[in-house]
Amino acid sequence: MTSPYTRGDSFSSEASRKHIGQALADYGATDVLFSHRGGQSAVAFKAGGRQFRIVMPLLQSEGTMAVRGDAADSRLREANAKVLERANRKSWHALALAIDGKLGAAAAGIATLESEFLAHVVLPGNHTVLDELEPIIDSAYRSGLRPTFRDPALPYGLSNIVL
């Protein structure tokens, strides 16, 4: 049986965001920012000379229902809103636990902050490492060929030279 703690049922989304902000600040992160756009929320911060951004999709209603004004429609909307709120509360709680684990590993010297959050490092141009690598990895799996990573500052072909 799963306890409410592990399900995240007893934590509000706001409590999880506060926990994330405090955990990042305790680790030494600065400029912690939470944002929301469309069906996604994000937490961004600076630490170790890098910028990081973690984007998390949130569940949303699939549209507004026609309002007929009867009690059944009202109860259905309320039930749907509660399901969405609970799912998003659990997502924020899971993110808080994940960030705690990553920060704990970095603090213990098991990993570095950058290795733990590598996918979320923001590169020049405002894309994350994950944004840049995901299509390359997908293509490599579809083709069965090893991807090549080259330094865009070097002329084509010079990145494979080992000095």
Burial class (CB in 10 A: 0-12, 13-18, 19+), 6: exposed
> Is 134 inside any structural domain?
no
Q: What is the pLDDT of residues 80-139, one digit of tens each?
A: 778 888 888 999 999 999 999 999 999 999 999 999 999 999 999 999 999 999 999 999
> pTM, whole model, 2 decimals?
0.76
Please answer whether residues 116 and 48 qualify as being in contact, where contact means their C-beta atoms are separated by less than 8 angstroms: no
> Is 139 inside any structural domain?
no
> Is 129 inside any structural domain?
no
> Is 138 inside any structural domain?
no
> Is 82 inside any structural domain?
yes
Q: How many domains does the chain have?
A: 1
What residues make up the domain containing 41?
4-123
Q: What is the pLDDT of residues 7-64, one digit of tens each?
A: 545 689 999 999 999 999 999 999 999 999 988 999 999 999 999 999 999 877 655 4
> Is 62 inside any structural domain?
yes
> Is 31 inside any structural domain?
yes
Instruction: Single out the residue of 26, 86, 34, 33 nearest to residue 59, CA to CA.
Output: 86
Kindly state the tokens that stand for 122: 């923001």
